[in-house]
């Protein structure tokens, strides 16, 4: 057998191997087996939904396909013909507009147009720094009152994130609509998904892919956030479209233009999320290598691609040099050092990231996709696996999409952090590949089957979409997920602007009580502990023990920084081992204050304004409530009216409340 023949046979086995791995890691609850059911605790509930609702669906559809074969065929042909008859600009405009409107509406009704995740908060404030004309701010004189987990506040003040994500949000802030940046980019991604799929698989698959992406709840919920995953998935989808153009380019000009756009898109993506960009660039690069042989025009175009990519990368390196101290040093390393790197080692919190933990992460992300991707009564990963098994003649684009999907999964399995945000966010950049593989599955299976089975297959996905979007009584549906978010505490949807406007605040200082855990966190940062050391200490002892260890450390005269972490740990652990434990007055006061009312500081921190000297200013300044320590701010903000804000109980429900500082518990 010739080498080419062997290579062809080996390549043909890739979809089958991929389907097998998806079943092992995504359908079988491997992550739960490795963690005694802790990885995805709701997975058994999801399996029940698949068995009951999905089972009923697969029982009804074959009967319908068999007994009403003629009607099903006529109906399907009529619908398909009408959808394909819609002019492409109209169809695409409608799909993109729906994605934009849906994600924007979700941002309002579910999340109050406010950031909730610490990543969102840090990048939104970093965007405000950029709008002030700076790459970073000078350290604040009282950093403990403004501390956020992902903010660097030693020597300079800025977020740990590469400059690209905050730059996108800065555009939105400049237009007074930062919350609409991601919905707009999500709509543009719909267009790119269509553009790639049309060149790879034809008009029918392209329209199905675009529609499925626009109706994808995971995409819409993440699009309703301030997260930097959305700019990267748009840039990656742009690179995918240009790759398809480059692969079939018939002129040097066309190849050069496509290559330059690929390079620019991936370069900007690198300035937002470097690892996601490197994964996409690696898979795209492999595809390009397969087309370089005997094509001098394409070989020359690689130069344009490199130049296009180096421009944004050079900007990132310059910013890194100015802020992080070295061109290739990222803010993550400033906060966490080498513990933040990819691979197997102790993570910043002292947990060993091992090969077994990486396997668990990979399985967990794929298991989450089954439900949170589409909210279907059938597992999404299972549908992709069946589609791959049905492939008779895999195309180069099938290999490309499989490669992008698996490369993204493997890369983030090697990353120590568990990335969950409204779904497996670390797989978000592979979403175009995942959605297209799902949309293509019914077409592939239909080609390999006939009669009742074929009709069942073509009806299954539309039925799943209808159930996901119209099953108002089910928790595992789009309405059910919206209900879950809207029923969460209303305090999470309160914005700083709403508080200031409702209470007519001017020249005010507002203290936000985030709770005793947050106070301890910021006290420890003030004592000079790193983010990782702080997290490890707080996970090892009770909040009362940590508070007592902080008080003991701050009472030392003269203060001693040497051995501080060891002293804090010894005191906290010794306190927790007291039998019976004695609860000091300061701890009971902490509990009393939190019972009186607490709220998240997240929406308030990025609302702070920055003056010409790079200091926090504005009509209203929002700071963390640190109890008696608040008095250190008298010399700085003593000319303002002071208030406390929290979710105090009203008629048994937490209600946002603003009260004068002197009228509240000290």
> What is the tens place of the pLDDT at every residue in 46-76?
999 999 999 999 999 999 888 888 888 888 8
The token pair that represents 276 in the structure block:
């996601």
Rounded average pLDDT over 412-441? 94
Confidence check: pLDDT of 665 > 50: no
Q: Span 531-556, mean pLDDT?
A: 84
Range 351-370 average pLDDT: 95
Which residues make beta-bridge pairs with 654?
A: 649
DSSP-assigned letter for residue 139: P
Pairing state between β 508-512 and 641-650: parallel
pLDDT, residue 281, reads 97
**Mean pLDDT of the residues in the chain:** 90
Beta strands 609-610 and 641-650, pairing class: unpaired
Q: CA quadruple 209, 213, 218, 222: dihedral positive or negative?
A: positive
Mean pLDDT over 452-477 rounds to: 90
When mean pLDDT is compared across 376-390, 407-421, 523-537, the lowest value belongs to 523-537
**pLDDT value at residue 663:** 56
Instruction: Inform me whether the pLDDT recorded for 580 exceeds 80.
Output: no
**pLDDT exceeding 70 applies to what percent of the chain?**
95
Query: Residue 224's pLDDT band (boundaries 50, 70, 90)?
Result: very high
Q: What is the mean pLDDT of residues 288-305?
A: 89
402 has pLDDT over 80: yes
How much is the pLDDT for 649? 47
Is 480:377 a contact under the CB 8 Å cutoff? Answer: no
Q: What is the mean pLDDT of residues 509-521?
A: 86
347, 365, 354, 370: which is closest to 408 by C-alpha? 365
Report pLDDT for 66: 82
Spatial distance between the Cα atoms of 666 and 659, rounded to a whole number of angstroms: 12
Mean pLDDT of 359-387: 95
Q: Tell me the per-residue pLDDT of 384-394, one tens digit each, with 9 for 90 and over.
A: 999 999 998 89
Give dist(CA 196, CA 258) in Å, integer: 13
In this predicted structure, which of 86-95, 187-196, 523-532, 638-647 has the lowest mean pLDDT? 523-532
Among candidate residues 276, 88, 103, the one with its CA nearest the CA of residue 191: 88
Handedness of CA 64, 441, 222, 416 (dihedral sign): positive
pLDDT at 659: 85
Q: Whole-prediction pTM value? A: 0.92
* 311-336 pLDDT, tens digit each: 999 999 999 999 999 999 999 999 88
Question: How would you class 36 by CB atoms within 10 Å of its CB: exposed for 0-12, middle for 13-18, buried for 19 or more?
Answer: exposed
**If pLDDT is split at 50, 70 and 90, which confidence band does 652 have?**
low
Are the beta carbons of 185 and 230 closer than 8 angstroms? yes
Block residue for tokens 């043909």:
12
Q: Is residue 184 over pLDDT 90?
A: yes
Number of H helices, E strands in the chain: 30, 8
Question: At residue 387, what are phi and psi to the nearest 5 degrees?
Answer: -60, -40
Residue 647 three-state SS: strand
Mean pLDDT is highest, among 42-56, 146-160, 180-194, 587-601, for 180-194
Most confident by average pLDDT, 97-106, 145-154, 609-618: 97-106
CA distances from 272 to 86, 263, 313, 414, 651 (A): 36, 14, 10, 19, 45
Lowest mean pLDDT of 285-294, 451-460, 538-547, 614-623, name the range: 538-547
Give me the pLDDT at residue 641, please. Answer: 93
Residue at token pair 């997290």: 535
User: What is the per-residue pLDDT across 197-208, written as a single tens digit (0 to 9) for each?
Assistant: 999 999 999 999
Split at pLDDT 50, 70, 90, the class of 544 is confident
- Report the C-alpha gap between 530 and 339 in whole angstroms: 12
Instruction: Provide, rounded to the nearest whole percent, the portion of the chain with pLDDT above 90.
Output: 60
Q: Which residue has the higher pLDDT, 436 or 601?
A: 436
Supply the pLDDT for residue 666: 45
At 257 the pLDDT is: 96
pLDDT recorded at residue 479: 94
Coil, strand or helix: which one is 455?
helix
Q: What is the pLDDT of residue 655?
A: 67
């Amino acid at each position: 057998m010739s080498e080419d023949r062997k290579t062809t046979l080996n390549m043909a086995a890739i979809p089958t191997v991929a389907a097998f791995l998806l079943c092992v890691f995504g359908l079988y609850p491997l992550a739960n087996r490795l963690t005694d059911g802790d990885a995805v605790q709701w997975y058994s509930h999801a399996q029940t939904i698949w068995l009951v609702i999905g089972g009923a669906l697969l029982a009804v559809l074959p009967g319908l396909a068999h007994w009403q074969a003629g009607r099903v065929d006529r109906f399907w042909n009529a619908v398909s013909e009408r959808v394909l008859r819609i002019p492409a600009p109209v169809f695409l405009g409608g799909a993109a507009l729906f994605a934009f409107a849906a994600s924007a509406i979700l941002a309002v009704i579910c999340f109050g147009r406010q950031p909730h995740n610490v990543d969102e908060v840090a990048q939104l404030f970093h965007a405000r720094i950029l709008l002030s004309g700076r790459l970073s701010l000078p350290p604040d004189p009282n950093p403990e009152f403004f501390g956020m987990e992902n903010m660097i506040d030693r020597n300079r003040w800025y977020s740990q994130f590469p400059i690209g994500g905050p730059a996108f949000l800065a555009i939105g802030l400049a237009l007074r609509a930062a919350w609409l940046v991601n919905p707009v980019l999500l709509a543009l991604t719909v267009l790119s998904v269509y553009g790639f799929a049309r060149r790879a698989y034809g008009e029918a698959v392209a329209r199905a892919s675009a529609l499925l992406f626009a109706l994808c709840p995971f995409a819409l919920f993440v699009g309703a956030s301030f997260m930097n995953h959305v700019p990267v998935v748009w840039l990656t989808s742009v690179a995918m479209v240009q790759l398809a153009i480059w692969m079939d380019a018939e002129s040097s000009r066309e190849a050069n233009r496509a290559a330059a756009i690929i390079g620019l898109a991936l370069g900007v993506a690198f300035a937002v999320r470097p690892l996601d960009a490197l994964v996409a660039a690696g898979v795209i690069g492999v595809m390009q290598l397969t087309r370089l042989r005997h094509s001098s025009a394409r070989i020359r175009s690689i130069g344009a691609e490199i130049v296009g990519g180096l421009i944004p990368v050079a900007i990132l390196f310059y910013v890194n040099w100015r802020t992080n101290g070295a061109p290739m040093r990222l803010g993550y390393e400033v906060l966490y050092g080498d513990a933040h790197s990819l691979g197997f080692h102790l993570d910043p919190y002292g947990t060993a990231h091992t090969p077994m933990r990486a396997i668990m992460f990979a399985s967990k992300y794929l298991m989450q996709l089954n439900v949170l991707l589409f909210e279907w009564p059938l597992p999404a990963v299972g549908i992709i696996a069946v589609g791959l098994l049905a492939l008779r003649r895999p195309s180069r684009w099938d290999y490309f999409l499989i490669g992008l999907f698996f490369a993204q999964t493997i890369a983030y399995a090697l990353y120590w952090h568990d990335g969950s945000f409204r779904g497996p966010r670390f797989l978000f950049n592979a979403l175009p590949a995942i959605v297209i593989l799902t949309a293509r599955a019914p077409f592939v299976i239909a080609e390999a089957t006939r009669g009742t089975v074929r009709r069942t297959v073509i009806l299954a996905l539309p039925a799943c979409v209808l159930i996901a979007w119209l099953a108002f009584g089910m928790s595992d549906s789009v309405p059910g997920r919206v209900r879950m978010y809207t029923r969460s505490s209303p305090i999470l949807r309160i914005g700083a602007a709403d508080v200031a406007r409702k209470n007519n605040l001017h020249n005010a200082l507002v203290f936000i009580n985030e709770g005793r855990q947050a106070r301890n966190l910021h006290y420890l940062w003030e004592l000079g502990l790193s983010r990782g050391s702080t997290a490890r200490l707080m996970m090892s002892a009770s909040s009362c023990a940590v508070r007592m260890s902080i008080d003991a450390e701050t009472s030392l005269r003269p203060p001693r920084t040497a051995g501080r972490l060891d002293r804090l740990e010894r005191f906290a652990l010794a306190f927790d081992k007291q039998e019976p434990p004695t609860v000091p007055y300061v701890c009971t006061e902490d509990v009393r204050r939190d019972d009186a009312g607490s709220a998240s500081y997240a929406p308030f921190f990025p609302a702070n304004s920055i003056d010409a000297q790079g200091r926090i200013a504005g009509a209203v300044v929002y700071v963390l409530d640190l109890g008696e320590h608040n008095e250190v701010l008298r010399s700085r903000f003593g000319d303002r009216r002071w208030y406390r804000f929290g979710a105090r109980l009203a008629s048994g429900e937490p209600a946002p409340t603003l009260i004068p500082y002197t009228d509240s518990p000290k």
